[in-house]
Chain A
């Protein structure tokens, strides 16, 4: 079955960077875009950006431009999201999600299990 498995929880200090991984299985990794969404405790879903695993092309939400980098390693079917210059407001659960259609602009299904990133001094 199609599955996304993310890396484990992270604790970082303000100003540091974090890199979260998302390993895909059950389908051809390069055929579907991967998106990243985060959720602060008790808050709603916030979209961060997308990456095309085939071309490596990316598109980031304006809020995260300059601070986020999405990459991939096709040999191990894994996508990465790196967020730099961390601040306390970046404490959240980070999700990767595959788009549901090859066209790219579509729904998200499935989602990874989430990775908690805590930013604290």
Chain B
């Protein structure tokens, strides 16, 4: 089955740029979606189809995807961005399409 690998944690100072990676075999050929989850809350979509932003999500959130790595970039990080972030793809390599989530990355704002 397809595996997505995320770093367990990323730390960044306020105002700096955070980059959260999501590794997978030839992930560049798939559409990657990213979710933000704050404690006690449901996940919220922040980037879809590699680099598109839902309405209401700040322009500070952006995404890219190439080769074996997808990246969520958060510019000018704010204290309110502290959360867990998950990447997600659909794996259609078998006759049974499955959803795969990365293990999640805890973003800490120093």
Contacts and interface: CB of A to CB of B under 8 A. Distances in A.
Interface in B46-79: 48-49, 54
Contact of A109 (B45, B97, B99, B102): B45
21 contacts: A45-B88, A45-B101, A47-B101, A61-B98, A62-B98, A95-B42, A95-B43, A105-B90, A106-B31, A106-B33, A106-B48, A106-B49, A107-B33, A108-B35, A108-B43, A109-B54, A110-B45, A111-B42, A111-B44, A112-B42, A114-B42
Interface residues of A, number: 23
Contacts of A113: 42
B42 A108 contact: no
A47 B99 contact: yes
Given A35-B99, A44-B101, A100-B48, A111 B43 contact: yes
Contact of A107 (B88, B96, B103): B88
B23 interface: no
Contacts of A15: none
Contacts, number: 60
Given A107-B88, A108-B33, A46 B101 contact: yes
Contacts of B99: 35, 37, 47, 50, 61
Interface residues of B, number: 23
Given A35-B99, A62-B96, A45 B48 contact: no
B104 A59 contact: no
* 6 closest cross-chain pairs (CB), A and B: A47-B99, A107-B33, A107-B48, A109-B45, A111-B42, A45-B101
Interface in A87-119: 95, 97, 100, 105-114
Contact of B103 (A44, A47, A50): A44
Contacts of A110: 45
Contacts of B96: 59, 62
Interface in A33-59: 35, 37, 44-47, 50, 59
